[in-house]
Amino acid sequence: MDNANAAMDEVVEAARQKCPVGTVTRDGKWVYQGVSFTPRTGKNRGRSVQFQGKRWTGRRPGMLRDTIRRVNKHGSGSIRVYAGSYKIYWAFMIERGFHDKGGRFHSGVHFLQKPFHEKKKGFLNKIQNG
């Protein structure tokens, strides 16, 4: 397990190096915003769902990069690498791409996927041999 953790720590370090770092700095506060969507599955499928969502507005360069971490799922033997938190909710948008308010699509920066796929070839050898 120690060898597997060390291998995933390499992925975390590579992901931190590939993670884009912005230039915006601003003081944060919690703001409430109306959210409306129609689920495709589940008990509310086809019904419009509306609620007040809360989001953090603060920014500083490197916030996203600082949230990249390795997590061991106890009991399952699974090791995962995560990015983002409840305040830094945009990690998946940077990884997969997003549409801005003007409707333009910004392609994703694969700062998690790419390092994992680059490093996974050597995982088996590192886990078995240390």
Supply the pLDDT for residue 101.
Answer: 85
Residues 92 and 125 in one domain: yes
Residues 70 and 109 in one domain: yes
Confidence tier at 127 by pLDDT (50, 70, 90): confident
Mean pLDDT value of segment 104-121: 92
- Alpha carbons 88 and 66: distance in angstroms, whole number: 10
Digit-coded pLDDT (tens) for 1-39: 788 888 899 999 999 999 999 999 999 999 999 988 899
Digit-coded pLDDT (tens) for 57-100: 999 999 999 999 999 987 777 889 999 999 998 999 999 999 88
Residue type, 38: T
Domain that holds residue 41: 29-59
Quote the tokens at residue 5. Answer: 């953790």
Residues 34 and 18 in one domain: no
Residue type, 51: F
Supply the pLDDT for residue 130.
Answer: 64
Mean pLDDT value of segment 51-58: 91
- Whether this prediction's pTM lies above 0.85 is answered by no
Helix residue ranges per DSSP H, 22-119: 63-66, 91-96, 113-119
- The CA angle 92-104-26, to the nearest 5 degrees, is 60
Residues 14 and 71 in one domain: yes
Cα 1 to Cα 5, 70, 114: the distances in Å are 6, 13, 23
Residues 20 and 33 in one domain: no
Supply the pLDDT for residue 63.
Answer: 95
| 114 φ, ψ (degrees, to nearest 5) | -60, -50
Residues 70 and 114 in one domain: yes
Q: How many domains does the chain have?
A: 2
Supply the pLDDT for residue 6.
Answer: 86
